Amino acid sequence: MQIIQRRKIYYIISLIILVPSIISLMFQGLNLGIDFQGGTLLQVRVEAEETTSADVRAALHDLELGIEYNVQQSDNDFFIRTTELTQQDTEAIISGLDTALGGVELLETEMVGGIISSELARDAILALIIASVLMLLYITIRFELYFGIAAILAILHNVILVLGVFSIFQLEAGMPFIAAMLTVIGYSINDTIVVFDRIRENISMERREDTITMLNRSIMQTIVRSLNTVLTTSVVLFAVLLLGGVTLEIIAIAMLVGFIVGAYSSLFIATPLWHDLSNKFKTKRV
């Protein structure tokens, strides 16, 4: 297969999906969870079948607590998101809904204060940066700088795409999402390294072939492994997505998108990028 020769096609494909992601991130932003914005999330189960979120909203309105809220429904479970609530307000909501809707069970509450949310956001960003730098360092030591740069560019590509999906569909980005994001980064590196490892090995064999043939061969040698690994992890993630309940849904979506994009980018983006990078800078030195 002539993957390296056709690299411009892959660059263009990536650009075509990157551009809407970036536009959405710039204009729509992310739907930040309460972890990063502060606020309260209540999950209640209403006994009466056929209760709608309009009913819940009406019941909340009648309580006259003077708070803003957003109600989402999943079967008989309702997710109520509001500003930071005191214990008294939380209790008032639960008992108020219980009376108005005839039997309500409180499944989960989550309250994050303003101070904590900015601390969490800071820690999350810090963790992302430190992890990326350390991984780049490791690859540079184990391989060489151009491998590291190509790997980081490919990862950036994957991160923007996953962020883009979350921005376009306005999926909630909270703490679990950050964990998923970091996994995507770790996994993308993992994927890229398997290919680069093969390239390094093929370089050292010093066969009589040009670089492009060698790179194509390296990709073909690792492509089955990439496909099989994506297949097995996707199967597990699909199971989590379909059966794992609401809480794990968001993480599973992030990972699924990230893993598939990660496998693609390590073969069709990272390797051609390394080729272009090392060509451009190394030939000048000679």
Part of the chain binding another protein (CB under 8 A), chosen from 1-9, 47-55, 125-133, 277-285: 125-133
DSSP annotation of 270: I
Q: How far is the CB of 225 from another protein (least distance, A)?
A: 4
12 makes contact with another protein (CB under 8 A): no
**CB 139, min distance to another protein, A:** 7
Instruction: Tell me the two tokens of residue 200.
Output: 């390094």
Of the candidate residues 13, 23, 58, 107, the single one contacting another protein (CB under 8 A): 107
Cβ-based nearer residue to another protein, 224 or 286: 224
Q: Is 182 in the site for another protein (CB under 8 A)?
A: yes
Measured from the CB atom, is 7 or 185 closer to another protein?
185
CA distance 176 to 198: 33
Q: With CB under 8 A as the contact rule, which of the stretches 24-32, 60-68, 135-143, 162-170 interacts with another protein?
A: 135-143
Which of 3, 71, 80, 139 is in the footprint of another protein by CB under 8 A? Answer: 139
For residue 66, which of 79, 53, 85, 41 has the smallest C-alpha distance? 85
- Note whether 247 binds another protein by CB under 8 A: yes
**189, 49 contact by CB (below 8 A):** no
Which positions from 188 to 207 touch another protein by CB under 8 A, shown as an x/- string? -xxx-xx--xx--x------
- List helix spans (H) across 143-270: 145-168, 175-205, 211-243, 246-265
Out of 62, 123, 209, 210, point to the residue binding another protein (CB under 8 A).
123
3-state DSSP call for residue 51? coil
DSSP letters spanning 62-116:
HHT----EEEEEETTEEEEEES---HHHHHHHHHHHHHHHT-EEEEEEEEE-HHH
User: What dihedral do alpha carbons 99, 101, 106, 110 form, nearest 10°?
Assistant: -100
CA distances from 95 to 29, 141, 275 (A): 36, 60, 65
Q: With CA atoms as reference, report the closest residue to 78 among 96, 102, 105, 100.
A: 105
> Binding to another protein by residue 94, rule CB under 8 A?
yes
- Name the residues that contact another protein, by CB under 8 A: 43, 45, 87, 90-91, 94, 105-113, 115-116, 120, 123-124, 126-127, 130-131, 134-135, 138-139, 142, 175-176, 178-179, 182-183, 185-187, 189-191, 193-194, 197-198, 201, 221-222, 224-225, 228-229, 231-233, 235-240, 242-245, 247-248, 251-252, 255
